Each structure stands twice: as structure tokens, then as C-alpha cells.
């Protein structure tokens, strides 16, 4: 038991902190600090800055840009990045399809896609959820039927985040309707410019356009774009959803937002014991969460994830939401105004849309009810 970082990790942290606070565009970091929306160009620029320095995909195999870091180093990388208001590398590329292709892809697929994926030259979208397949993902119905050297894809995906920017979409499709539902699924890589593919926006409760429907009508996909074997898609999907131990809970960014809320609301917070108690409780729970994340990374070197990792998503999203709620309450009646006023003082105008938007956090990535199910079944054996 030892609280201090090793000298090596301490040095590593300093390097990360220096890089993130000096090499990533100030304008981008200010945008994140103020809670404003990033443009596609800013997200790409930021990831390319990281990638050039070997900091975009450190967890990938080393031949494709990975760094062979320990889980603790990855944790430090992730936390320092969030603390410095640097946008984390696009999850669809860096955390989802990249590791899947590195693990299951053909040599051709790896060479073709991985460098561009790391550098965000290709923007990936995720084609998993369907109108009738949410938490019950294996119930998906989008079909792919072999036709010569191609698959013909028909169906509909939904909740495709930032699909309006997508170049390619990794898509779970049903290739065998006769077998048990998990056994008939495949993963296809689909060019979003393909004929018959249409992206339709969904307007959300925060007034924004973050997610989309993606419709497939007789979309022709070359069979070489199948990942792994036909009907092995469930294995890849489980790998994609379950291989993450680092960065499961958005600790760094939630801490940063809470600290900023304290700063912005200082005049109000100063003399209000109820607000102060609420902030102290949130700070303490975030501390407990961060320490749990550290326990998880410290325990999971090269092995199975620590059982407590399931707590991270559950508690991490709850706290993210609770902090966003605090910000709205600090703004009070001023928050009724909406839309950008174009100045840094108008944080309260963004507070309620952010609060509403973050209701998603306990729904996506395995809803918090699914997390409770995992805890009670897998950990408690109930």
C-alpha cells in the first residue's frame, strides 16, 4: 500500500501535463473549459495534435501507434487530458473500432484503416442500436445477405452519435436469422457515402443535433469489409463494449466542471450552507470514485478487470449528472435564457441544455440498470 506515484510515473504525469497544457490549441481548450460545443474541425485538430505526439491511441498494439503503457499510465494520461480541457480522442475511433480491428481485423483492414483511424482522417460512426434493439442489442434486425462478393444491407440504425460527420460506420448486421440471436450477427465496415445509405438527424431535448438515424436500403458492401468471420460479430461487440478498464468514469472532466462551478458561483456559494454542503458531498463522492478508478487500474495489470470497475460507470455518470444539476441551480432564473450569447460570462445559458443532454449518460454504454444487473449477477452472484 503506497499513495505516492513512483518517480517514473511522477515524471510521466509531468510530461503529460506539460504537453496537454502547452501543445494543444488554447482556443480548443477554452471552448471545452467553458462548456461550449466543439466543431468537427476542432475535434480533428486536437486528435491530430495528440496523434503526432503518439498520444492519441496509446492503448493500441505498438505497431499501430500504441505505447505499451501500464494501465496506471493510461489512467494518468486520461485524467491529465481531461484536467487540461483537451478533448479525449474520438471514442468511436480510438476506443471502439480501432482496438476491434487490431484484435480481429485482417492484415489488409489493419493497414488500410488503423493509421487513418488513429489520425482521425476517417471519422467512424457506430452502427449498433436499432429502434427495437437498445439494451437488448442482440435483438438487432438489420440484415446483410451475401450476393456474390458483396453483402446487401437493409435496415435501420439509430442513436448514431455525430453520424453527420461520419465517413465510415462499423455496423452490426444479422447474417443468419435461423440461429440463436447472438450467433447470427456479423460486423461490417460500411462507407457512409455508399448508395442507399441515408443519415437523418434526431433533435434532442437540449435542442441540439447530436444523434442520428442511419437508414440502409440495399446498400452494397464488399465482403472484404467483414470483420473476422461471418457470424462472429457478437464476440467483437462484447470485446468492444467490455474491454475498457481505463476512462470508464469521466472523473477528470466532472471534477473540472465542479471546480469551475465553485468559481463561477463563488459569490453565492460563500454564504449558503446548503450549497456548500452539497458541493462538499459531491467533491467527496468524486474523490471516492477517482480512488476506485485508481484501485481498478492498479489491480488489473494484464488481467481481468477488477470487479469494482462496474461501479465506475454507474457512479461516474450519476455524479456527472449531479454536477450538471448543481450548475443549473447556481444559475437559477438566469438559466432560462438559452442559446449562445457569445461571451464567456454566459455559462448559465448553456447549463440547462448541458444538464438535459447529460441525462443520456446513464442510458448509453449499457444503461445504469444494466450495470446494476452486471453487479448483482456477476459480482454478487445473485
Partner 1 sequence: MDFTYDDEQDALRDAVRGLIGKAYGDYEKRRQTTKEDPGFDEKVWTQLAEMGLLGLPFSEEDGGVGAGPVEIGIVCQELGRVIAPEPYLSSVVLAGGLVSAVGTPEQRQEILGALSSGESVLAFAHAEPGSRWSDSASAVTASQDGDSWTVSGTKDPVLHGARADVLIVSAALSDGGTGLFVVQGTDVADEGRTGFATYDGGRAARVTFDATAATPLGTAGADVTASIAIVHDITRIMAANQSLGAMETLLAQTTDYLKSRKQFGVTLNTFQALTFRAADMYTSQELTHSLVDWATMVVAAGKPEEVADAAARVGLQVSRGGRHVGQEAIQLHGGIGMTAEYSVGMYTAHLTALDHLLGDAGRHLRVLDATLDEHGVIDPLDRS
Q: Which residue ranges make up the site for partner 1 (CB under 8 A)?
A: 1-6, 9, 13, 72, 83, 255-256, 258-259, 262-263, 266, 269-270, 273, 276-277, 279-281, 283-292, 294-295, 298-299, 308, 311, 314-315, 369, 371-373, 375-377, 379-382
- Please give the angle made by the CA atoms of 78, 80 and 81, to the nearest 5 degrees: 65
The SS3 assignment for 107 reads helix
Question: Closest CB to partner 1 among 256 and 350?
Answer: 256
Asked if 248 contacts 192 with a C-beta cutoff of 8 angstroms, the reply is no
Question: Closest CB to partner 1 among 38 and 269?
Answer: 269
Exposure b/e, 255-271, CB count within 10 A at least 16 = b: bbbbebbbebbeeebee
Q: Work out how close the CB of 222 gets to partner 1 at its nearest, in angstroms, rounded to a whole number.
A: 44
Q: Work out how close the CB of 25 gets to partner 1 at its nearest, in angstroms, rounded to a whole number.
A: 22
Question: Closest CB to partner 1 among 183 and 370?
Answer: 370
Question: Closest CB to partner 1 among 1 and 41?
Answer: 1
Question: Closest CB to partner 1 among 161 and 373?
Answer: 373
How many beta carbons lie within 10 A of that of residue 8, not counting itself?
10
Q: Work out how close the CB of 298 gets to partner 1 at its nearest, in angstroms, rounded to a whole number.
A: 5
Measured CA to CA, the distance from residue 286 to residue 118 in angstroms comes to 31
Measured CA to CA, the distance from residue 203 to residue 148 in angstroms comes to 39
Exposure b/e, 193-215, CB count within 10 A at least 16 = b: eeeebebeeeeeebeeebbbbbb
Query: Which distant-in-sequence residues (6+ apart) come within 8 Å of 246 by Cβ?
Result: 59, 71, 74, 75, 78, 297
Exposure b/e, 146-170, CB count within 10 A at least 16 = b: eeeebbbbbbbbbbbbbbbbbebbb
Relative orientation angle of helices 273-299 and 251-264, to the nearest 10 degrees: 160
- Which residues are the active-site residues? 244
Q: Work out how close the CB of 134 gets to partner 1 at its nearest, in angstroms, rounded to a whole number.
A: 17
Q: Work out how close the CB of 13 gets to partner 1 at its nearest, in angstroms, rounded to a whole number.
A: 8
Q: Work out how close the CB of 316 gets to partner 1 at its nearest, in angstroms, rounded to a whole number.
A: 11
Question: Closest CB to partner 1 among 333 and 381?
Answer: 381
Length of the chain, please?
Answer: 382
Long-range CB contacts for residues 3-10, cutoff 8 Å, separation at least 24: 5/76, 9/72, 9/73, 9/76
Amino acid at each position: 500500500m503506497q499513495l505516492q506515484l513512483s518517480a517514473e510515473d511522477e515524471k510521466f504525469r509531468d510530461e503529460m501535463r506539460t504537453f496537454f497544457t502547452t501543445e494543444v490549441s488554447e482556443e480548443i481548450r477554452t471552448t471545452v473549459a467553458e462548456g461550449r460545443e466543439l466543431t468537427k474541425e476542432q475535434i480533428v485538430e486536437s486528435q491530430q495534435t495528440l496523434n503526432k505526439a503518439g498520444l492519441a491511441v496509446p492503448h493500441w498494439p505498438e505497431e499501430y501507434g500504441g505505447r505499451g503503457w501500464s494501465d496506471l499510465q493510461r489512467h494518468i494520461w486520461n485524467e491529465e487530458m481531461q484536467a487540461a480541457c483537451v478533448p479525449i480522442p474520438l471514442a468511436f475511433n480510438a476506443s471502439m473500432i480501432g482496438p476491434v480491428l487490431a484484435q480481429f481485423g485482417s492484415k489488409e483492414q489493419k493497414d488500410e484503416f488503423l493509421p487513418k483511424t488513429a489520425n482521425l482522417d476517417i471519422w467512424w460512426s457506430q452502427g449498433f442500436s436499432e429502434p427495437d434493439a437498445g439494451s437488448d442489442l442482440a435483438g438487432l434486425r438489420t440484415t446483410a445477405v451475401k450476393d456474390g462478393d458483396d453483402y446487401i444491407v437493409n435496415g435501420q440504425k439509430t442513436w448514431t452519435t455525430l453520424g453527420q460527420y461520419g465517413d465510415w460506420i462499423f455496423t452490426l448486421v444479422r447474417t443468419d436469422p435461423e440461429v440463436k440471436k447472438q450467433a447470427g450477427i456479423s460486423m461490417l465496415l460500411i462507407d457512409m457515402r455508399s448508395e442507399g445509405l441515408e443519415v437523418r438527424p434526431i433533435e434532442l431535448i437540449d435542442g441540439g443535433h447530436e444523434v442520428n438515424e442511419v437508414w440502409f436500403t440495399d446498400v452494397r458492401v464488399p465482403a472484404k469489409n467483414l470483420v473476422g468471420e461471418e457470424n462472429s460479430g457478437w464476440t467483437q461487440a462484447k470485446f468492444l463494449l467490455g474491454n475498457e478498464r481505463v476512462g470508464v468514469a469521466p472523473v477528470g472532466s466532472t471534477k473540472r466542471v465542479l471546480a469551475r462551478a465553485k468559481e463561477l458561483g463563488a459569490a453565492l456559494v460563500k454564504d449558503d450552507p446548503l450549497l456548500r454542503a452539497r458541493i462538499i458531498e459531491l467533491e467527496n463522492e468524486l474523490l471516492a470514485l477517482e480512488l476506485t478508478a485508481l484501485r481498478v487500474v492498479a489491480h488489473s495489470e494484464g488481467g481481468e478487470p477488477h470487479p469494482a470497475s462496474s461501479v465506475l460507470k454507474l457512479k461516474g455518470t450519476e455524479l456527472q449528472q449531479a454536477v450538471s444539476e448543481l450548475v443549473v441551480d447556481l444559475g437559477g432564473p438566469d438559466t432560462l435564457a438559452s442559446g449562445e450569447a457569445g461571451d464567456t460570462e454566459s455559462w448559465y445559458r448553456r447549463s440547462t441544455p448541458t444538464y438535459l443532454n447529460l441525462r443520456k449518460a446513464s442510458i448509453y454504454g449499457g444503461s445504469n440498470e444494466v450495470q446494476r444487473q452486471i453487479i448483482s449477477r456477476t459480482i454478487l452472484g445473485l
